[in-house]
Amino acid sequence: MTPVHAIEITDAEGTSRSCRKLGRATEYVHKIAFRVAINYIVGMLSIVTLISGRGSNFEAIVKTAQKEQWPVKFAGVIANHSAAKGLDFARSQGIPALVVEHKEHASREAFDAALIEQIDALGADLVVLAGFMRILTPGFIRHFEGRLVNIHPALLPAFPGLHTHERALEAGVKEHGATVHFVTEGIDEGPIICQASVPVLNGDDPATLAARVLTAEHQIYPRAVKWFLDGRLRIEGNQVKLQPPESQFFKL
C-alpha cells in the first residue's frame, strides 16, 4: 500500500503572509483530501503530464517508473498542439494522449480553464510540466499549487526564461545544468526540488551543451517525481526540504 501522500506548506515570512498561506494550504488540503483517501484505498497516485514537443523527459519518467515498478498511474498526457511528438510515445504505452489546442482558445485564461477541466477529469495528484511551452495563468498555478512541477534547463536562479544554453555560453559560465522546481506565479522562480550540474566544455555549442544538460534532466526529473509520490517533499517558504534528507544536488 502506498503511504499517505502529504505536502506540508509552511512560511517563515511574517504573520499576514503566514495566514494567507495557511488559508490556501488548508483549502488545498481539503481539495485533495478526498482524492488522497481514494488513492490510499487503491494504493496509487496519478500523474498528468503537459508537453509541447518531443517529450523526452516524460519518456524518462515513464521508463524509470516502469523499471522501478512505481505504484503510479500515468493518467494522461496533454499537448497544446497535435504535432507534439511525445503524444506518440504516450499512445505506444497506452497512456491517454490528449490535445488542447491553445490556438482554438480566445485567451490564455480560456485555454487554461480548458486545461484545468481536462486535468481534473483525469484526476491528477501531480501535474508534471515537461517541455510545456505556454505561460500559465496565476489561476491555473493556484489551482494546482503544491502539486505542479517543472524542469528548467539551467541552474536557477541563473538563466530563467528561454535560450538558456546560448545564454550560458555567452556568459562564459563553466558549469550549467537543470533544475526541477515547484511552479509558482513568477516565471522559473518556484521552490527548487533538485538540481544537476554539468560542465561546460571548450568547443561546446548550444546543441552539444543542450544534449549534455538533457541527459542530466532525464536523471533528476524521475527522481524528483518519485520523491513527490513518496510524500518526501515539504515546502518551507521558498525552500523544499527532502525527508529523510539526502542530497538534492547532483554533479554529473
- Sites of contact with ligand GRF (CB under 6 A): 51, 53-57, 130-131, 151-153, 178, 214, 217
CB of 200 to ligand GRF, least distance (A): 16
Closest-by-Cβ residue to ligand GRF is: 131
Nearer to ligand GRF, 164 or 248 (CB): 164
Please give the full DSSP string across 45-88, using - where no structure is assigned.
Answer: EEEEEEESS--HHHHHHHHHHHHHT-SEEEEEEEESSTT-THHH
Residues 6+ apart with CB under 8 A from 41: none
CB of 113 to ligand GRF, least distance (A): 23
Beta bridge pairs of residue 175: 199
Nearer to ligand GRF, 150 or 248 (CB): 150
Nearer to ligand GRF, 5 or 152 (CB): 152
CB of 53 to ligand GRF, least distance (A): 4
* 112, 136 contact by CB (below 8 A): yes
218 catalytic residue (yes or no): no
Question: How far, in whole angstroms, is CA 150 from its chain's centroid?
Answer: 3
Catalytic residue among 152, 176, 181, 218: 152
Nearer to ligand GRF, 209 or 235 (CB): 209
CB of 179 to ligand GRF, least distance (A): 9
Distance CA 182, CA 48 (A): 15
Residue in the structure block whose three cell numbers are 498555478: 141
Task: Indicate which residues carry an active-site annotation.
Answer: 152
